[in-house]
Structure 1
């Protein structure tokens, strides 16, 4: 176990998070998972229930969790900041508490975890991968908080890559629509709507969680070590589409 590379994945129980865990586990990584929910996690070697919002807003909780991490996670090769919240509201109805929670989970949390694990990542010549979103550049109504947080996460990725030069690589992945239960729930599991979404993409389909996880695996490995401060869109070509009147 000592020779295995260790990856820490936040939001490990989500559609993308669980696939990240599976892919890295299959590739002989030691997988440590964090999530606000608890559930069986067959692809995690270690799992901790963890509230990113509380970690950013409650100094006592932060200290408690960091004491656990200090003892239980002595080495780290890769940090994947995948956890996110998506609280929808228009500008005129957006509540400050929802805005703050969104920024804490989607932006401040990734920074603070990066700070905490920095010395371990540097020692292992490792890297950080932030899971951003197509919403960093293309968004929809009522996604004000979410789109702002993901845009800032891409900015944070670039700034950290410069600030940590020669120490730790930092990259981002920005998926478009990925076929997860969360996405299907958003369409009330209406298969016809999912099919329409497929057809909007030049690829004629939406993405699969394993495509995101395979990209993360490639980014983590030394073979692509010159990729640093990048934001890689994985979007089936949708960001090239300009809709015209029928």
Structure 2
């Protein structure tokens, strides 16, 4: 089933970006910022179609052609469908933002609380899903003259902390894979990653529940810049890697208000 919606644009020379997990949060902020920069956008969600429609309308209001591709990046067929949708619609793919992610909120000290299913789902989405998206887009990006891939990782992958041990491990793997991909896809495709700290999003608030207020207060006390990371902060870093940073590949950039310096 092709679950795509959108409207065709007249411009044929706009660049094209695929942003996974872009119905809310960092993905939504990135999709709209790229639209404002002249990109046509593939918006991706697994379930949040209503919110994806809001992002679609924002992108269109900024002059972009945009399409929603509902799909799960842990399913290779969905990854291939996203890439082929972009190629058939616009004949190019210039940027891929691997933003979709998953975690289970389990204290790292609670080894028994993290089961095999948790591990597999986290790794399937955060690592294998990102790889499958790159693999699906590689040939199209090269045919388009190259481009940029940005993986949305986490400071959990740098410091080993975070919502669960499996999540930290998955982001560490994503950081390593970023370097491997940067090497093998050069010189036509640049691959970098951002590592956000605690982001002011519904995803984190819902996951932490009653612990959210304590995390927010502590984060603002201990970090150098004394504020939570906003989705727009991440979007700006992502777009920097896509539009600028022409001599930069294989880099992981902390977007964490200085938390990684502690």
- What's the TM-score once normalised by structure 2's chain length? 0.82
How far apart in 1 are the matches of 2:225 and 2:163?
26
Change (3 A) 1:211 1:97: same
Gaps of 5+ in 2: 1-10, 60-65
Give 1:100 deviation, angstroms.
Answer: 1.2
The question of whether the paired residues in 2 share the 8 Å contact of 1:187 and 1:194 is answered with no
Alignment pair present for 1:162 and 2:189:
no
Deviation per residue, 1:71-119 (Å, 9 max, x gap):
4463100000000001134332322222111111101111111111111
- The SS at the match of 2:133 is helix
Alignment pair present for 1:85 and 2:102:
yes
Alignment pair present for 1:102 and 2:112:
no
Partner of 1:244: none
TM-align CA RMSD:
2.2
Q: Which moved more, 1:98-107 or 1:178-187?
A: 178-187
Change (3 A) 1:233 1:2: same
Give 1:52 deviation, angstroms.
Answer: 1.8
Partner of 1:43: 58
How far apart in 2 are the matches of 1:16 and 1:184?
14
The question of whether the paired residues in 2 share the 8 Å contact of 1:31 and 1:43 is answered with no
The question of whether the paired residues in 2 share the 8 Å contact of 1:25 and 1:31 is answered with yes
Partner of 1:2: 12
How far apart in 2 are the matches of 1:150 and 1:103?
9
Pairwise mapping of residues 231-246 of structure 1 onto structure 2 (< 5 A)? 231-241=252-262
Gaps of 5+ in 1: 242-246
The question of whether the paired residues in 1 share the 8 Å contact of 2:102 and 2:125 is answered with yes
Pairwise mapping of residues 163-202 of structure 1 onto structure 2 (< 5 A)? 163-188=184-209, 191=213, 193-202=215-224
Q: What is the total number of aligned residue pairs between the two structures?
A: 236
